[in-house]
Amino acid sequence: MGKRKKLQRIQAEDIVAPAPRSLPAPSFGLRHSSNFFPVVDSEEHPTRSPALANQIIDLVNNCPEVASALEIICAYVLSSGVGDELGFAILPDKQDPKPRTVALARSVVSRSGDIWLWWQIIWRMMAWGDAFGLVDLNLDQMQIDRLSLLPSWQCFAIPDPLCNIQHYEQRFGVSKAIIPTNRMIHWSYNRRYLYGRSLWTEALDDWAKLKEVDIDLAEASRSASIQPNLHIMPIGTDDAYKRTYKTDHEERKKQGIIADIYLQHGADVKKPQNFPTAAPLNSFIDHHNLRRLRIAARSRVPLYLLGIDSKFGKEIAYQPALSFVVFIGVVRQLLAAGLRQLINTELALKQVPPSSWKYRIVFPRINVNPWQQTIEEDVNAEGVEDMDAAINLEIF
């Protein structure tokens, strides 16, 4: 009888899905809790598409061009590029201001996270293709308490037969947590059906080739930069003596630098007359630079911001910068879409009618090159305007 009750209790516990487990984020401090999955070697333990995830994680963690581009993208999305760190602001709608709506929007943004959380969302969205935020609902006070980031490569979007997402799952090993759609905010870059794509997905082949040529270039550089000693034996020297001579010389090299060589039987040691040349390395260097340039160009960041030289100064100053501004505008729109879901959920909990969900999410003016005339975005575009004077720092 006791075994039957114990079996029934175990089966009942199995029906209850475990709570979602988030990673410790800088915005919430390093909390030690059994609810966190163990973190070893990296912040991600891939469950969804492990092979693809491992390639992208390797690229993001080890390629300097990708790491630099990610930092630049995050910085320009949340600032004007000159260090003012304005982030973004919630402002009233110009046509139909709703003070209570704006106050509630600012309040939930302030409770949910800070500048470090928004930075992490942008970083994960661009690096992994997706960022998943778990909404912590307080039904007693009918509000959102905070937003916690979940590991991107452990989250699954589960569609219904009509291809609408019915819920999310976080999987790790044999554990699985089911998360309803109203508690998950899913940011994606270049989404294809259910999931986004990393900005560098198409650069994985270049990264693999770059690592190969890096090894070849290092070995070729060492070989080309060393002038070997030419040990010339006199005519008529037998093979046994040559082998003995070589063995004796190799043993001396193992003991350290050979300052003196004592010649026997007329042997001669000479250095080549010409200095080492880089000509044999040119093909390796060209291939290395091509792969590096292709990876850097995939980031949309102007090459001069990544420290890569360009031959055409006019193109550096104008066209890449303008293209970069457009790209940053797209990233801001993707970030704002998730922020609107967060704010609208709070407004729904506060029983604000949808007709009053009117507010603006604005970002600061972008200044790509402080020595040039400021490049301004289209101030008429939704969610984008100059807010150097209008920013409300209280939201942080």
Answer yes or no: is pLDDT of 21 > 70: no
Name the residue with tokens 């609810």: 35
Is pLDDT of 121 > 60?
yes
**pLDDT for position 82:** 55
Neighbours of 72 (CB within 10 A): 19
Predicted pLDDT at 372:
52
Q: Compute the average pLDDT of residues 2-6.
A: 49
Cβ-proximal residues to 157 (8 Å cutoff; 6+ apart), any chain: 165, 168, 186, 194, 195
Mean pLDDT of 264-284: 61
296-300 LR contacts (CB < 8 Å, sep 24+): 296/65, 296/69, 298/199, 298/200, 298/202, 298/203, 298/206, 299/65, 299/66, 299/69, 299/70, 299/73, 299/199, 299/200, 300/69, 300/73, 300/199, 300/324, 300/327
| 86 exposure class (CB count in 10 Å sphere: 0-12, 13-18, 19+) | buried
Q: How far is residue 24's CA from residue 20's CA, in Å, rounded to a whole number?
A: 13
How high is the pLDDT of residue 143? Answer: 92
Give the list of residues 6+ apart from residue 136 with CB closer than 8 angstroms, or none.
144, 145, 146, 147, 148
- Helices (H) and strands (E) in the chain — how many of each? 10, 10
Confidence (pLDDT) at 286: 75
pLDDT value for 275: 54
- In the chain, the amino acid numbered 287 is H
At 49-103, the pLDDT tens digits run 888 999 999 999 988 899 999 999 998 898 865 555 568 889 999 889 999 999 9
CA distance 292 to 315: 19
Reduced to 3 states (helix: H, G, I; strand: E, B; else coil), residue 143 is strand
pLDDT band (50, 70, 90) for residue 210: confident
The domains of the chain are located at: 2-200+317-395, 227-275
Q: Which band of pLDDT confidence, cut at 50, 70 and 90, is reported for residue 135? A: very high
Band of residue 375 on the pLDDT scale cut at 50, 70, 90: very low
Q: Tell me the pLDDT tens digit for each residue of 224-267.
A: 555 666 677 777 777 787 777 778 777 777 776 666 666 555 66
pLDDT, mean of residues 141-145:
91
